[in-house]
Structure 1
Amino acid sequence: MGQDQNMPDDTDIVPDDEQLGQEEAYEVPQTDVHLSREFVQALQRALKDEDETLILEMLEELHAADVADILETLSSQQRRKLIELGSKGFDPEVLSEVEGEAQDDLYEHMPNDLIADAVTELDTDDAVYVIEELGDEDREEVLRALASDDRVAIEESLSYPEDSAGRLMQRDLVSVPEFWTVGQTIDYLRSENSNIPEDFYDIFVVDPGHRVVGTVPLSRVMSSKRAQTIISIMNDDPHIVDASAEQEEVAYQFTKYHLISTAVVDSAKRLVGVITVDDVVDVIEESAEADILALAGVREESGLNESFIEIVKGRFTWLFINLGTAILASVVIGLFEATIEQMVALAVLMPIVASMGGNAGTQTMTVAVRAIATKELNASNAVRILNRELMAALLNGGILALLSGLVAMIWFKSVLLGSVFAAALIVNMFFAGLSGLLIPMTLHKLDIDPAIASSVFVTTITDVIGFFAFLGLAAIFLF
């Protein structure tokens, strides 16, 4: 891990397989090795025999992400044994790739001196991610083991809010003054003392106050004549994000403006880092995963690699809330107990009304939550979108009511019952579309994540209105 690149001084889980031979050399497959049954069996056997040499040999050719997958696949006991015997052969990036319970085991059982060595090799953003996940004592010990420049860079990044651009950015970048020529820039990049990043896309052009005045794609530098000045070939309207900006906002800007990288500046508008598209892909993936889990009332941390207790804790809250809403729907049914007793057909048809409304509400809610997340839905177009959703709900409701009403008439030989059933379905579909849009928008306005809370409210409304409309209409027109 390095610091900001400054311009030169003068510019200021499977069972063991008995058929596997213990002494047999294992050839690492080139693709999907972490999914290979044979490979995992061989690794488990090596762990059982505590064959450190074989373990290191097997892990040597693996990508860091594959090693992380293996750690997440093994049982806790096998994982700890692998960390004990093979951690000194881990690629440093394994520390930033592993997740869940496997991450806890890795950080707890891997010696801090090895973690410090790995952190030194990582990009600043990955190093910050590892450090912030450590316990307080381990974090202090690892930071003390780092070189002073690395420690300062990480501590500065940690000073920014969690999930901000300052935490996401890399400090390794290339910046040059605007009066340089292309030739000077190329010579600087090729010089042994430049200490440029391993991979980069843009060169940032800065003024004497280290404020960004432009950017130059590396390809443009390589295709321009040496005598040309950097200012003559730079983009003079660079895209810049504040270090305190939320990561999801940064990801939105990358998506909207098709960025490859962007400069990150502090409160004084000085260049402090760079965010590249590979970092943003992770944010987009994590955000999408979190929204999907939230829609089901599951915490983001409740993955397959979490412990049993964490899974139970993460899911119980919303299950308990759902229990309360289900009781509310049952109370509505209880109000019409006498009506149901007079006609059993009502009990048969009730779940259909509630289910259709719930599905319709979930469809609208899912579209609304996504539109809010991508900023496609806002105050300026809310009325138009609401009208569209209500018209769609009424049309779908009308078609489905006609079909299901005819079925109910034929099934129970009652035109009036079929009509009541169809009318209740239209009413519930209308309110499903209304609540599916208005509830996420209202929650977003109240600074409550609509992905987490919307489904409970939408389901409750569609159940309550569905039961009330159907049983209420039945009580009025059938008895």
Structure 2
Amino acid sequence: MAETPRPDEDDLMLAELPAGEGARPDDRIDDERMDEENTLKPGYIRAIQDGLDAGDKQAVYELVEPLHPADIADLLELLSRDERHELAAAITDLMSSEVVAELNDYVREDMMESLPAASVALIAEQLDTDDAVQLIEDLDEDDQQAILAELDAEDRIAIETALGYPEETAGRLMSRDFVAVPEHMTVGQLIDFLRDGHELPEDFFEIFVVDAGHHPVGTCQLSWILRTPRAIALGDVMKRDQTLIPAMLDQEEVALMFQKYGLISAAVIDDSGRLVGQMTVDDVVHIISEEAGEDTLLLSGAGEGDINEPIRDAYSARVRWLVANLGTALVASLIIAAFGAAIEQLVALAVLMPIVASIGGNAGTQTMAVTVRAIATNQLTRSNTRRILWREMRVGMLNGATIALLVGAATAVIFGPTLGVVIALAMVINVFVAGMAGVLVPVAFERLDQDPAVASSVFVTMITDSMGFFAFLGLAVLSGIAG
């Protein structure tokens, strides 16, 4: 009798992993689609584009079907707008809520606007409340109302309540799917309650214990519940000391609280202290990534910096800071013009001026980046501003002295010792001023309740350029080598 062939270990492993839930259904074909950095290969994307051009929806579907929802979202973002809509039409049943939740904000908004309200409502009903809110919050008011009208009453009320909170607050971002039980329950009663279902969330890790007014009084992790005898009261096993998040708290502050206290989840409360939702660490990871990227882009005045952002929005976000930079550059130009006669007498000044300005600008940018990060993470507050300023001034002096020694020596060899001393002193002054400006400009923005990352670089650059030119040219005139 012929022996039945044994499946190899890879086949057994793949059979145990459901498609779209952490592993792809056939890792053996990953080399055809994904490179070593886990991104879609250009050849694979071209094959899909060729299928779309040929109108072969079946071939396109077969190419896309094995992908994880997150990879399908990546694929949609890599295509042009027209190709994106053609692909969505070819893989309709693969366009799950998981795919939509992973899409870039601009891509998702564009695709939702092209779908009928009933279709968007169907997707929203499959999402958690916070993801559903993210799905429709950026749409036009008319589109929002049309979609909300298609939802059932419970989902509509939850989403409308969330939209009532300001953007980027805990109330807008929180999940309303959580488990809350009264304090008088025993562990056994809680276990029976959880096993009975009662329309519980699909995933949860913590039980919130509330009083009669629905105010949170403690929390219980599932691991505690499973290891505690049934007869023990929840009040004896729960953790009463908990971190509560006000619904109006900014998302950046929420992320800092999770980081500071090592939270996995936390209760969100309204103005009266009632439990209204929860924030979980997966939400916070997204917030941290978003805020970090946002601050980096704002420092350069690049707006949101999204490659899918409409050209008009990208233009308007960037051009206003370029215009502002033009104005600040004129200040430096006026200083140079004031020393025009000195520059004409000694051409070496024109050769060396960019070095002074460049080093000062880089020093200011370094300090500014450290300061903005310290403000964002609450490391720099009103109580320690003077200490941080004094620290950066000392760092500036050390950096300035080091660079001055190098530049001064080289200049002395090439242009003479007097000019070497002049540029060395100018370098010390400019790097010292750059350190002060890198702290004071972001702090001033923060004191005025403005985002310190928005345009600090424009003003720091103006100060370092202007001071660098003024110090260098002014010292050159005072020394008598030009004038």
Equivalence for 2:298: 294
1:147 matched to 2:152? The reply is yes
Q: Secondary structure at the match of 1:241?
A: strand
Deviation at 1:60, TM superposition (A): 3.5
1:171 matched to 2:172? The reply is no
Equivalent residue for 1:280, pick from 260, 280, 284: 284
1:402-453 residue CA offsets vs partner (Å, 9 max, x unmatched): 12111001011x1111111111111101100111111111110001111112
Deviation at 1:323, TM superposition (A): 1.2
Deviation at 1:157, TM superposition (A): 1.0
Equivalence for 1:418: 420
Equivalence for 1:211: 215
| Percent identity between the two aligned chains | 48
Deviation at 1:187, TM superposition (A): 1.1
Q: Is the 8 A contact 2:364 2:435 kept in 1?
A: yes
Equivalent residue for 2:474, pick from 448, 472, 479: 472
Q: Is the 8 A contact 1:28 1:58 kept in 2?
A: no
Equivalent residue for 2:392, pick from 378, 389, 396: 389
Equivalence for 1:162: 167
Higher relative contact order (CA 8 A, sep 6+): 1
Deviation at 1:93, TM superposition (A): 2.6
Deviation at 1:48, TM superposition (A): 2.1
- 2: CA distance between counterparts of 1:90 and 1:99? 14
Equivalence for 2:258: 254
1:130 matched to 2:131? The reply is no
Q: Is the 8 A contact 2:218 2:238 kept in 1?
A: yes
Deviation at 1:105, TM superposition (A): 2.6
Q: Is the 8 A contact 1:123 1:170 kept in 2?
A: yes
- 2: CA distance between counterparts of 1:249 and 1:49? 51
User: For 1:79-478, what aligned pairs fall within 5 Å after superposition?
Assistant: 79-192=84-197, 194-300=198-304, 302-412=305-415, 414-477=416-479, 478=481
- 2: CA distance between counterparts of 1:29 and 1:116? 34
Deviation at 1:354, TM superposition (A): 0.6
Deviation at 1:88, TM superposition (A): 3.9
Deviation at 1:34, TM superposition (A): 5.3
Q: Is the 8 A contact 1:435 1:461 kept in 2?
A: yes
Deviation at 1:223, TM superposition (A): 1.3
Equivalence for 1:29: 30
1:39 matched to 2:47? The reply is no
- 1: CA distance between counterparts of 2:407 and 2:446? 36
Equivalence for 1:61: 66
- 2: CA distance between counterparts of 1:312 and 1:161? 26
Q: Is the 8 A contact 2:209 2:216 kept in 1?
A: yes
Q: Is the 8 A contact 1:83 1:110 kept in 2?
A: no
Q: Is the 8 A contact 2:109 2:135 kept in 1?
A: no
Equivalence for 1:5: none
TM-score (norm 2): 0.90
- 1: CA distance between counterparts of 2:257 and 2:200? 26
CA 1:26–1:165 in 2, change beyond 3 Å: closer, same or farther?
Answer: closer
How many residue pairs get aligned? The number is: 452
CA 1:402–1:283 in 2, change beyond 3 Å: closer, same or farther?
Answer: same
Equivalence for 2:13: none
Deviation at 1:309, TM superposition (A): 2.9
Deviation at 1:137, TM superposition (A): 2.2
1:295-317 residue CA offsets vs partner (Å, 9 max, x unmatched): 111101x3112233332222111
Deviation at 1:45, TM superposition (A): 2.6
User: For 1:10-25, what aligned pairs fall within 5 Å after superposition?
Assistant: none
Deviation at 1:334, TM superposition (A): 0.3
Structure 2, unpaired ranges of 5+: 1-25
Q: Secondary structure at the match of 1:205?
A: strand
Q: Which moved more, 1:304-313 or 1:324-333?
A: 304-313
Q: Secondary structure at the match of 1:66?
A: helix
Q: Is the 8 A contact 2:300 2:455 kept in 1?
A: no
1:228-266 residue CA offsets vs partner (Å, 9 max, x unmatched): 111111001121111111111111100111100000111
Q: Is the 8 A contact 2:169 2:250 kept in 1?
A: yes
Paired AA for residue 220 in structure 2? V
1:268-293 residue CA offsets vs partner (Å, 9 max, x unmatched): 21111111000011111110000010
Structure 1, unpaired ranges of 5+: 1-24
- 1: CA distance between counterparts of 2:249 and 2:354? 46
- 1: CA distance between counterparts of 2:185 and 2:137? 39
- 2: CA distance between counterparts of 1:107 and 1:28? 31
- 1: CA distance between counterparts of 2:249 and 2:87? 39
Q: Secondary structure at the match of 2:220?
A: strand
- 1: CA distance between counterparts of 2:29 and 2:50? 15
Deviation at 1:378, TM superposition (A): 1.0
- 1: CA distance between counterparts of 2:29 and 2:111? 23
1:51 matched to 2:56? The reply is yes
Deviation at 1:144, TM superposition (A): 1.0
RMSD (CA atoms): 1.8
- 2: CA distance between counterparts of 1:197 and 1:48? 43
CA 1:112–1:211 in 2, change beyond 3 Å: closer, same or farther?
Answer: same
Deviation at 1:100, TM superposition (A): 5.0
1:97-116 residue CA offsets vs partner (Å, 9 max, x unmatched): 22254223311223322211
- 1: CA distance between counterparts of 2:294 and 2:101? 19
- 1: CA distance between counterparts of 2:67 and 2:163? 31
Q: Is the 8 A contact 1:160 1:166 kept in 2?
A: yes
- 1: CA distance between counterparts of 2:308 and 2:184? 53
CA 1:196–1:55 in 2, change beyond 3 Å: closer, same or farther?
Answer: farther
